[in-house]
Amino acid sequence: MEKIHNPEIIGSAKIIEIVDNRIFKAALPNGKIIHAHFAESELLESKIEVGDTVRVKMNPFDFSRGRIVSD
């Protein structure tokens, strides 16, 4: 059986709340609120504050969370 490849969707989001040192609430351009997080390797390198705009990768089957990626 052939495996179906599901590409991730990349978009921008604005940080609206810091939940803890790794999880953030972010608003997509359409107004949807998601939980955004860093990949483990990027956690120590980045400093995010409320109001920052970030790029997020989301799974096409779950738009409730995304991974923050660098440009």
Domain boundaries, given as residue ranges, for the chain: 9-69
CATH 2.40.50.140 holds for 9-69: yes
Q: Tell me the whole-structure pTM to 2 decimals.
A: 0.81
Give the pLDDT score at 44.
Answer: 54
Comparison of pLDDT for 4 and 16, the residue scoring more? 16
Give the pLDDT score at 21.
Answer: 82
| Res 2 pLDDT > 80 | no
How do residues 24-63 score in pLDDT, each as one tens digit? 999 999 999 999 998 766 555 578 899 999 999 999 888 9
Residues 16 and 7: their CA atoms lie apart, in Å, by 26
| Radius of gyration, CA atoms only, the chain | 13
Ordered DSSP codes for 24-68 = EEEE-TTS-EEEEEE-GGGTTT----TT-EEEEEEETTEEEEEEE
Q: Which residue, 61, 62, 70, 56, is CA-closest to 25? A: 56
